[in-house]
Amino acid sequence: MKLLLIHAEKFEFEVREKAIEAAEDLVETPGSASVDNALVCFTTVESVDETNVSWILQKAVEEIKDVASKLNVKRVVVYPYAHLSPDLANPTAAKNVLKELASTLISNGFEVVRAPFGWYKRFTISCIGHPLAELSRTLRPSEAAEEYSILTPEGEVIPLKDFDLTSAPEDFRQLVRKEVYGEGGGGGEPKYLDYCRKFGIEWESFSDQGHMRYGPEAALMIDLLAEYAWSLASSLHIPIFRVKGTNMFDLSVPAVKQHADLFGDRLYVLEVGQKKYVMRYAACHQQFAMLKDWNISYRHLPFGVFEIADSYRLEQPGELTLCFRLRRFLMPDLHILARSLEEAKELSFKVHEKIYEEVRKVGRDYVSIYNLTRSFLRENIDYLTKLASMEGKPVLLHFVPEGKYYWVINVEYNIIDQLGRPREIGTFQIDVGNAQRFGITYVDEDGSRKYPVIIHTALIGSLERYLYLLMDTAARNDAQGDKPSLPLWLSPVQVRLIPVSKDQLSTALAVAEKLNSSGVRTDVDDRDESLAKRIRDAEVKWIPYIVVLGTRETSKGVLNVRKRDGGSMEMSIDELIREVNEKLRDCPRLPLPLPILVSTRPGY
């Protein structure tokens, strides 16, 4: 793509006649327009852009936003201009790119006028004469590869352009194609959305876009995930302190403002009176504001601080994805304080191992991106090689400018979802800047005050993204012919009792009471429906254990148990309790949040 960017005091155009047969219908765009104080973007879409659309659009928007911000301009004209290159894209592809470019700029808060594609047009322009008034940009997808290298588990660093991608695992190839070149992935309706609806995981239409709601079953799942995240943090074998705090912070506080500026432009900002507050995008602000007031000695380090932080990011409407990309989400945020960078690196191996251990528990694996500077790579190749060797497969290295970020390494752990898209779930980064920014210090052995190095991590990602991982895993299993399911500990109902007739209802209730008392979430389907329908409904809800109670079972004192993971058998109540409790060993427990009788529940 080629861009000619003109800061215009005034710009006018008017359609005259079709230039090509595939000219755009004038219903979609104006036949004429006149704008003042605008950034006019004369845009040529080239043939190479057709297979790199996502990357080209991202870079074009970044360039236009950068120039517009320097000019303090919020009005943009996207003007098709075929005269900047002899190597033009297919007209249909070019038209779609220009439409998407305009749409993305609108979602970024710009007022956009898009001139129609494929027409001869008269235009007049009055250029404002200053150093930034006339700029040109050439965006080449091949440039993307220069920002990346591959790190092998053996410690070899290979420039991406020299790496034989065909030799890599398929999930890594998909990561590179999408992350670097914007190719592949997407298309079709993801199956996980059906599963979310099944459990009451939905958008809230009465709120801002990107906010979710949780029905009774989903609310239990979120509460269990919060406890699970806490148990994982506690399993790192260092002291962890659980805290709670607020979700809005004063932008007039220098540390808050500086951290917000470093985070970027996706901030929720709230104006109260004459003050502006940022809605936190993770637990950083609260934990750092708290830690600055703690009296910390070198003897206390390392230790961690943990919070389930309600977090807010002003994601663009076109990017919002249920459970994955949200404007409000729950982040199980852990910050680990270390005495030095070397100690933080050693601690990061524990974090790295735990993150991989958790994703492999559900039968998935990550492909990783290490965001870092070239100098950090040169000075820490042994450390990075050890991280990669723990993964056992190639890692994508993404180089960032020196000194731009507060971290020295930021690791993104991606699954490849059902539609072939990389989806970041877990993460960690080593932060060398925020302790000083927020005034967090510790007293070292010699009595001097020093700034700790801070590891940021979400071992399972946000609670919603972990749900996304589980639902996507269920979709993959379903596609492979296996029954979709949730982990037993997360299943809202773990055992469902189905009496064949009302004669067995009292027995079913007694069994349910004993199971619930033993910590096994159990309900009773007493509805006036056929036995086949009630069994089918339990299967639709992915209930791990379905127990049918008829005359024979009640007279013999046994349970006819169907297991979702395969098989059916007769068991005593005590045998069932022992089996479930063994599978739930070390897992979080919460009681059934629903009435025991299914017939007493409203439809939701």
- Sort 445 into a burial class: Cβ within 10 Å, 0-12 / 13-18 / 19+: exposed
Same domain, 341 and 292: yes
Q: Say if residue 129 is in the same domain as residue 217.
A: no
| Domain-terminating residue out of 423, 442, 471 | 471
Q: How many CA atoms lie within 13 A of 85 on its CB side?
A: 22
- Together in a domain, 447 and 555: no
Q: Give the pLDDT score at 322.
A: 95
Tell me the CATH number at 511: 3.40.50.800
Same domain, 449 and 512: no
What phi and psi values does residue 232 have, to the nearest 5 degrees? Answer: -65, -45
CATH of the domain at 45: 3.50.80.10
pLDDT value at residue 157: 96
DSSP string, 323-348: TTB-SEEEEEEEEEEESSHHHHHHHH
Given this model, what pLDDT does residue 142 score?
Answer: 60
Under a CB-based contact definition with an 8 Å cutoff, are residues 394 and 370 in contact?
no
Domain shared by 164 and 85, yes or no: no
Q: Is residue 500 part of a domain?
A: yes
List residues bridging with 42 in a β-sheet. 4, 79
Strand partners, 456: 335, 429
Tell me if residue 483 falls in helix, strand or coil. coil
User: Phi/psi at 10 (nearest 5 deg)?
Assistant: -150, 140
pLDDT at 521: 98
Domain-located, residue 449: yes
Provide CB contacts within 8 A for 101, sequence distance 6+: 43, 57, 60, 61, 78
Are 332 and 430 within one domain?
A: yes
Please report whether residue 93 resides in a domain.
yes
Length of the chain: 604
β 75-80/111-114 pair status: parallel
Q: Taken in order 187, 482, 224, 287, is the CA torsion positive or negative? A: negative
- Residue 519 and residue 403 share a domain: no
Domain shared by 163 and 259, yes or no: yes
Residue 135 located in a structural domain: yes
Determine the structural domain holding residue 552 and report its residue range.
Answer: 489-600
Whether 484 is covered by a domain: the verdict is no
Query: In 72-208, which residue ranges form alpha helices assigned H by DSSP?
Result: 91-107, 141-145, 170-181, 192-198
- 249: Cβ contacts below 8 Å, ≥ 6 apart: 256, 277, 278, 280, 285, 286, 289
Regarding whether 441 and 541 lie in a shared domain, the answer is: no
Please report, for the domain that includes residue 361, its CATH number.
3.30.930.10
Where does a domain end: 444, 471, 498?
471
| Residue 562 vs residues 547, 570, 576: alpha-carbon distances, Å | 6, 9, 11
366 and 300, same structural domain?
yes
Q: Which two tokens stand for residue 111?
A: 């007022």
Nearest partner of 545 among 529, 518, 523, 526, judged by Cα? 523
Is residue 301 in some structural domain?
yes
The rounded distance, in Å, linking the Cα atoms of 474 and 542 is: 10
Tokens at residue 434, please?
């925020």
In 3D, which of 110, 97, 111 has the Cα closest to residue 66? 110
- DSSP annotation of 136: E
What single string gives the DSSP state of each residue in 28-44? TS-SEEEEEEEEEEEEE
**Residues 259, 115 share a domain:** no
> In this structure, what DSSP letter does residue 247 have?
S
Which residues does residue 416 pair with via DSSP β-bridges, in sequence order?
422
Q: Cα torsion at 187, 188, 189, 191 (round to 10°)? A: -100
CA 91-96-99 angle, to 5 degrees, is 125
Residue at 32 is within a domain: yes
pLDDT value of residue 186: 62
Q: How far apart are CA 409 and CA 423, in angstroms?
A: 19
* Stretches in the chain below the pLDDT threshold 70: 51, 141-145, 184-187, 264-265, 604
3-class secondary structure for 309-322? EEEECCCCHHHCEC
Q: What is the dihedral of CA 357, 360, 361, 362, to 10 degrees?
A: 150
Q: Does residue 116 have a cis peptide bond before it, meaning omega lies within 30 degrees of 0?
A: no
Confidence at residue 62, expressed as pLDDT on a 0 to 100 scale: 87
pLDDT score for 432: 96
- The answer as to whether 567 is a domain residue is yes
- 3-state class (DSSP) for residue 254: helix
Q: What single-letter amino acid sits at 342?
A: E
Per the structure, the count of domains in the chain is 3
CA of residue 382 relative to chain centroid, distance: 29
Backbone angles phi, psi at 564, to 5 degrees: -65, -30
Residues 107 and 171 in one domain: no
pTM score: 0.78
From 436, 471, 506, the end of a domain falls on 471
